[in-house]
Amino acid sequence: MNARSWPVGTADPALRAPEPGPRHLDPELLGRWKTTLEAWQAPQASLVALDRLRDPQTLVVVTGQQPGIWGGPMYNLHKAATAVALAERLGAASGRPAAAVFWVQGEDTDWGEVGWGALPGPGLAVFRHRWTPPPVPSRHWIGSARITFPPEAAEALGPWAGHPGIGWPPPGEPAELSAVFGRFLLHAFGGRGLLPLDGRWAELRRAGAPLWERYVPRHHEVAQAVQERGAALGGSEPPLDAAAGDHGLFLLEGEQRLPVDPETWEAEVRAALECGQPERLAPSVLLRCVLQDHLLGSAAHVVGHGEAAYLKQLEPVYERLEVRPPARVPRLRATLVPQGVLPEGDLEAAITDPEAWIAAQAGRRVPAEAAAALESVREAVEAGLGRLDRATGAKDVAQIADAARRKMLSQIHRVQETLDRRSRQDLYQEAPMLRNLSEFLRPRRGDQERGLSAALWTLLHRDAAPGVLLEAARTHLDAVAEGSLRHLAVVGGHV
């Protein structure tokens, strides 16, 4: 892997192997998991890793995200790679078996967050598509959405359109989003034992019944504690507001969350538990991670920056429901740069502000004599009108001179803009990909790993993508072990 990095923060360097918490995986849940992995054509390494979960000494590293089109945002793979690399690291350090689990949050209901894809074509021009109208009703699980590949995307993706590393079956064939995403993760890291888990399974909710029994009588107390912890964190707004903290369980009607009625919510939740129907209860953002760690006995949880803040606010929930929280480990942060597009010494500057970097490159192409002449004109205008102002001392003359100064400087600025535009055109003619570089590195002025789809790894690195990703994740964890968070620029691959 060819990569450069720069610091973006500090990290807790404690990556020693922690003790696993109690695990609550019953045979029914393990059976469903195995059946699904086989349906998703999981490699043997993943099935072996599933068997390891029966051993209470196995260290589980967990991460998760909603299923996404073309793998969802790039950081989905950054989370998965970090979890796999961390499981290998903890296992080697402790001499214990270890496994990495990815909780596919197909039980989420926010289609607007996941219903898009964005990938570059050969010249780095970004192709975007949003699946509208939503293929599932309001408040319905997104993982059950069946959508088709947009034909116009085939031109952008070329022969890779149906490749498993793109996260989509052949164009025109409808597919269920959670299943496509699970297969995508297995293609990347199933050979390293990654275990995707589908959050829609009824077996998960049934296995959570003991947790719900502890939560319901204390839900007012839990809500108050969460609000107090949020206020203690500081900042303008806590990660979880009062509404998110009040009701940790949704009632389900099939695959659809029912709206919460505060007047009847507790009675309806109690009735579902008393009738032996815990599968009708789905955890909200307040309890999903608590359920995850209750079931898996997670030793470590790979998280993004925003998740770390919200999990900090959830500490009272873990305490009151007697669930052991795992160590929180930050995920890999990385930007992909095709080989030959940027000088290695300019990577940080170009990724941080690509527009400013391109402007600087174009500026160097303005003829030195023209730039000097224009600056000389600007200085002469300022100096000459300044002398006039001082020589007369008349207010009316000063006003006219100031108006003249503004007009002349405006025209000088137009000349400068024309020189810059011509030099930028020359730059793009010499290096055509630079025309699209800014949107590729900082899509819509945001981070690449949030604005482009994870399948970019496959487009650039082909079948070597999983190995390059794991190497980047190991480099990231080495830095974390030293107390540093770094942003990696991974250079290479096919354009």
Q: Give 118 or 152, the one with higher predicted confidence.
A: 118
Flag the least confident range among 123-132, 227-236, 335-344: 227-236
Q: How many domains does the chain have?
A: 2
In this structure, is residue 264 part of a structural domain?
Answer: no
For residue range 308-323, list pLDDT tens digits in order: 889 999 999 999 999 9
Statement to judge: residues 85 and 178 lie in one domain: yes
Statement to judge: residues 472 and 379 lie in one domain: no
Residue 222 lies in a domain: no
User: Does the pLDDT at position 385 exceed 90?
Assistant: no
pTM of the full structure: 0.92
196 and 324 together in one domain: yes
User: Which range among 11-15, 157-161, 222-226, 247-251 shows the weakest confidence by mean pLDDT?
Assistant: 157-161
- Cβ partners under 8 Å of residue 365, min gap 6: 423, 426, 427
One domain for residues 334 and 361: no
Choose between 16 and 409: higher pLDDT: 409
Question: Going by DSSP bridges, is the β-strand pair 334-337/484-491 parallel, antiparallel, or unpaired?
Answer: parallel
Average pLDDT over residues 372-393: 81
Mean pLDDT confidence for 41-59: 96
Residues 55-81 have a mean pLDDT of 96
Burial class (CB in 10 A: 0-12, 13-18, 19+), 480: buried
pLDDT in tens, 149-171: 887 887 777 777 767 788 876 66
DSSP letter (8 states) at residue 185: H
Per-residue pLDDT averaged across 56-68, rounded? 96
Q: For 139, left (φ over 0), alpha (ψ -120 to 50), or beta? A: left
Please tell me which residue, 226 or 19, carries the higher pLDDT value: 226
Q: Under a CB-based contact definition with an 8 Å cutoff, are residues 327 and 299 in contact? A: yes
Residues 147 and 185 in one domain: yes
Same-domain check for residues 295 and 423: no
Residue 197 lies in a domain: yes
- Tell me the one-letter amino acid at 279: E
442-474 residue pLDDT tens: 999 999 999 999 999 999 998 999 999 999 999
What average pLDDT does range 377-403 have in this prediction? 81
Residue 258 lies in a domain: no
Whether 132 and 42 map to the same domain: the answer is yes
Mean pLDDT value across the chain: 91
Q: pLDDT tens digits, residue range 75-110?
A: 999 999 999 999 999 999 999 999 999 999 999 999
pLDDT value at position 17?
Answer: 62
pLDDT at 171: 64
What confidence category does residue 409 fall into, taking pLDDT thresholds of 50, 70 and 90?
confident
71, 173: one domain: yes
Domain annotation covers residue 130: yes
Summarised one tens digit per residue, pLDDT across range 187-210 is 999 999 999 999 999 999 999 999
Which of 430, 457, 483 finishes a domain? 430
Do 158 and 129 belong to one domain?
Answer: yes
pLDDT at residue 444, rounded to an integer? 92
Domain co-membership, 37 together with 74: yes
201 and 327 in a single domain? The answer is yes
For 419, the domain range is 349-430
Residues 178, 123 share a domain: yes
